[in-house]
Amino acid sequence: MNVSPLFQPLDIGRLTLKNRFIMAPMSVHMTEDGSVTDKEIAFIERRAAGGAAMIIIGSICVRPDGNFGGQLFIEDDGRTEGLRRLTDAIHRHDCLAAAQIHHAGRETSMRTSGYRPVAPSPFPPEAVAGLQAEYDPPHAMSTKEVRDMVECYAQGARRARDAGFDMCELHCAHGYLISAFMSPLTNRRTDEYGGSFLGRMRFVTEIIRRIRELVGKEYPLACRIVGDELREGGIDMALAADIARYLEKLGIAALSVSAGMFPFVRTVSNMYHRHGVNLYLAENIRDAVHVPVFAAGQLDRPDIQLAALEKGKADALCVGRGLIADPDYPRKLREGRIDDIIWCIACNKGCHDRSAEDRSVKCALNVMSGRESEREFTPEPARRPQRVMVIGGGPAGMQAAAARRGHMVSLWDERRELGGRLRLAAVPPHKERYAEACDYLAREVGKLPIDVHLFHKVTLKEVREQNPDAVILATGSVPVIPPVEGAEQDFVVPADDVLAGTAQAGRRVVVIGGGAVGAETAHLLLEQEQREIYILEMRDGIGIDLPQDSRICLLRVFENSTDMHCLTNSRVTCVGDHCVTLMRDGHEECLERIDTVIMAAGARPDLRLKTGIESLGLKLLVIGDADAPRDYVKAIRQGAEAGRAV
């Protein structure tokens, strides 16, 4: 593949990008009080060193009431010095720095910011299906308050320039304050800041004019807009193109095109979406204007990136999670080191889900991501190479085996291929990319002189014969079959067997347990053929342990199906002869003519070898699901920790 088009320079106003890779603005939640921390500098500098042409620091807050949690602040001149440390770190690597300045508007809460949210009109953000929205009704800003806010943005841009940022980007997207003024859905004002298109654009117009007064005409100013808000009555593609043309006339140097608004399902897309999911929106804007257009949304594969440029859909590529997963992506691509790239799989588990909980951004696959300043996470060669036996080739075991410490490592798994339960997680619809995660880890194992034994169930006798210095037990988990009367019958099967294809389901199915495994197994069966499916869940929601955005997508599928019945607050009391009795909201019900009952009631550690190994007196580390069944993010992290600990 000829990737050279991706490494052509691009002019943005007076700036020149050295290639087409821009790190997308991402608020990484590495601060508690809005100040720049060493942790964030280390994280950002690592990405600058990896070869991106520009890094946009996401959502720097222009006023404390606009804080959605964990943001950097630029509300005061006292912030400039800290931000300067950040721009210096970026500049050390021949990379440009941009500041995205931001106010959350209605998309925050009193609990988060300490202030009542403000907005053009008093509408709280949309409550999400099946999820608790904790948003307060916002205060509709008075005309004077809007004018005061114009000054906050303008001073924020001025401070960004003073802190050494090469460009300032106004966050005019995702339903936050500026876009809330632009959108007919959220702006119902009757003063000069609402009503017509020009009225709705007045807020951003005044901000841009005031910024120009403060920083001059030459300082590059960009806007991030949505190509479509994806809400009825909101900004659609035609209106987005009008907004783009209007902003271009105001002298904007570039436009960055994103999509959606809270709850951000296509703003930060997930495995339900294809690569380049929002590219058509960038193309629509690029057709409307002459300034450079940046596209975003899973543009993290070289073929998609090349097609985006060659087909004229975008001028530059905003890559977010791709650079969280692999900071060196641009460099590795240029050097042709494709096999070394850690591909983001859009799971959102290590990054976006954490940021939604105001926890610092990390990556499920790349344990170093978000830990750049933590020395103890950097693998160092072992002082004395040891014989390490890793039993279990799931994510935890593979990560532990591939610790690169110079030990003599053997890796054992009873299955025919490495991957463990994560291979099963890849089976339900839209979850195929979990297999990419397995492949990545297996590739890492394959690069090292690790003695891999597949399709081999290790016995205690073999452990004794191998006589290792240390054993890492990563044998995973086994399904829990709850002590329900009738659960031993033939038509009752574990969800894992259905996912593995070793058990078949009939036409009328009951799934006991509506957590991630149960819900996704039900989804698989729903897509396979016409079936009547009942999910029985004790809690009051289905798929509660799924990543939030995937859960929203899954619940939409279920809501749109007449064959799927989600029975929450339901407890199974007995499985009879092809029937299931349950208590639901205090009433007994019976589901009859059931062909298959699928048990998805959790898992317990598989510790068959543990006591025996302990009795051999060997150093033993138990990791992953064998320690406690959990998601693969923690399993991989534990694998890395164990790899360092032996």
The active-site residue, picked from 153, 176, 434, 534, is 176
The closest alpha carbon to 138, from 151, 161, 122, 157, belongs to 122
Helix, strand or coil, per DSSP, at residue 135: coil
Instruction: Select from ligand SF4, ligand FMN, none the partner in contact with residue 325, using the beta carbon and a kind-dependent cut-off of 5 to 8 Å.
Output: ligand SF4
Instruction: Give the Cα separation of 62 and 56 in Å (integer).
Output: 16
Residue choice 53, 279, 347, 546 for contact with ligand SF4 (CB under 6 A): 347
Instruction: Based on the shown chain and the rule CB under 6 A, indicate whether residue 640 belongs to the binding site for ligand SF4.
Output: no
- The residue behind tokens 């890796």 is 411
Cβ at position 103, least distance to ligand SF4 in Å: 26
Per CB under 6 A, the segment of 34-42, 77-85, 194-202, 293-301 that binds ligand FMN is 293-301
Of the candidates 62, 345, 80, the residue with the CA atom closest to the CA atom of residue 176: 62
Site membership for ligand SF4, residue 345 (CB under 6 A): yes
Binds 298, which of ligand FMN, ligand SF4, none (CB < 5 to 8 A, cut-off by type)? ligand FMN
363 binds ligand SF4 (CB under 6 A): yes
Query: Does the footprint of ligand FMN cover residue 270 (CB under 6 A)?
Result: no
Min separation Cβ 636 and ligand SF4, Å: 10
Binding flag, residue 350, ligand SF4 (CB under 6 A): yes
440 is catalytic: no
CA atoms of 552 and 271, how far apart (whole Å): 12
Q: Decide if residue 349 touches ligand FMN (CB under 6 A).
A: no
Q: How many CA atoms lie within 13 A of 436 on its CB side?
A: 16
Q: Which is nearer to ligand SF4, 224 or 273 (CB)?
A: 273
Could you tell me the smallest distance in angstroms from the CB atom of residue 301 to ligand FMN?
11
Return the number of the residue (156 or 547) whose C-beta is nearest ligand SF4. Answer: 547
Residue 182 Cβ, how far from ligand FMN at the closest point, in Å? 15
350 binds, among ligand SF4, ligand FMN, none (CB under 5 to 8 A by kind): ligand SF4
Beta bridge partners of 535: 511, 566
Sign, CA dihedral 502-473-625-453, equals negative
Q: Give exposure, 195-225, as e/b (b: 16+ Cβ within 10 Å).
A: eeeebbbbbbebbbebbbeebeeebbbbbbb
Q: Is 330 in the site for ligand FMN (CB under 6 A)?
A: no
Contacts of 97 (CB under 8 A, 6+ apart): 54, 55, 57, 86, 87, 90, 91, 164, 165, 166, 167
321 binds ligand FMN (CB under 6 A): yes
300 interface partner picked from ligand SF4, ligand FMN, none, CB below 5 to 8 A per type: ligand FMN
Q: Is 27 in the site for ligand FMN (CB under 6 A)?
A: yes
Q: Which entry of ligand FMN, ligand SF4, none binds 363, CB below 5 to 8 A by partner kind?
A: ligand SF4
Q: Distance of CA 316 to CAs 22, 379, 415, 468, 607, Å?
A: 7, 35, 43, 52, 51
Task: Confirm or reject binding of residue 25 to ligand SF4 (CB under 6 A).
Answer: no
Choosing from 204, 207, 282, 364, the residue that interacts with ligand SF4 (CB under 6 A) is: 364
Q: Which residues are registered as beta bridge partners of 599?
A: 494, 512
CA 451-434-294 angle, to 5 degrees, is 120
Binding test (CB under 6 A) with ligand FMN, winner from 66, 117, 220, 320: 320
Cβ-based neighbour number of residue 140 at 10 Å: 15
Contact yes or no for 623/400 (Cβ under 8 A): yes
The answer to whether 351 contacts ligand FMN (rule: CB under 6 A) is: yes
**Within a 13 Å sphere around the CA of 134, how many CA atoms are in the beta-carbon half?**
9
Binding status of residue 361 toward ligand FMN by CB under 6 A: yes
**Within its chain, how far is the Cα of 522 from the centroid?**
24
Question: Per CB under 6 A, which region of 24-32, 226-234, 349-357, 507-515 contacts ligand SF4?
Answer: 349-357
Q: State which residue, 56 or 510, has the beta carbon closest to ligand SF4.
A: 56
Interface with ligand SF4 includes 351 (CB under 6 A)?
A: yes
Q: Is the dihedral of CA 620, 623, 626, 628 positive or negative?
A: positive
Name the residues annotated as catalytic.
176
- Residues lying near ligand FMN in the complex (CB under 6 A): 24-27, 58-59, 100, 171, 173, 224, 258, 267-268, 296-300, 318-322, 351-352, 355, 361
